[in-house]
């Protein structure tokens, strides 16, 4: 049986194929936002519940030290966050769109001179 479910993170619909067991649980990936979802069903898919169990990180490079950085726990389709670079200490504003595509990274505060001396 094919079952239509909705991602609770981005509200996109998707079809889950071949639910043949009376009751079960399966992890699926949302094709739109990349979230890992846990689909639970009973009544051979007639009664379903979908829960977000993992969200993909936003990955970006620090414009000061050029080191790769990761922002976890993004739960908004579009947004910004103020973050301190784990490598150099610069304060950055990271903007993203379409769940995880980085739109821009701006330096709000440069790192201390100690970073440049190393």
- Percent of the chain residues past pLDDT 90, beyond the cut: 40
Same domain, 25 and 67: no
**In the numeric block, which tokens belong to residue 25?**
């649980």
For residues 15 and 41, membership in a common domain is answered with yes
The whole-number pLDDT of residue 106 equals 95
Spatial CA neighbour of 51 closest among 64, 40, 60, 59: 40
pLDDT, residue 44, reads 66
86 and 66 within one domain: yes
Considering the domain architecture, whether residues 76 and 64 belong to the same structural domain is answered as yes
Show the tokens assigned to 63: 């414009």
**Whole-prediction pTM value?**
0.66
Provide DSSP, 19-71: --SSSEEEEEE-TTT--EEEEEEEGGGTEEEEEEEE-PPEEEE-TTT--EEEE
Residue 104's domain comprises: 58-117
pLDDT in tens, 62-87: 999 999 998 887 778 888 999 999 99
Residues in the chain: 118
């Amino acid at each position: 049986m094919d079952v239509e479910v909705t991602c609770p993170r981005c509200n996109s619909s998707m079809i889950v194929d071949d639910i043949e067991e009376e009751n079960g649980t399966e992890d699926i990936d949302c094709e739109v936002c990349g979230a890992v979802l846990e689909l639970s069903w009973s009544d051979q898919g007639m009664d379903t519940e979908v829960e977000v169990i993992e969200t993909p990180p936003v990955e970006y490079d620090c414009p000061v030290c050029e080191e790769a950085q990761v922002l976890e726990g993004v739960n908004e389709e579009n947004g910004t966050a103020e973050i301190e670079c784990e490598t150099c200490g610069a304060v950055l504003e990271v903007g993203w769109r379409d769940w995880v595509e980085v739109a821009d990274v701006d330096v709000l505060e440069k790192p201390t001179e100690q970073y440049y001396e190393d």
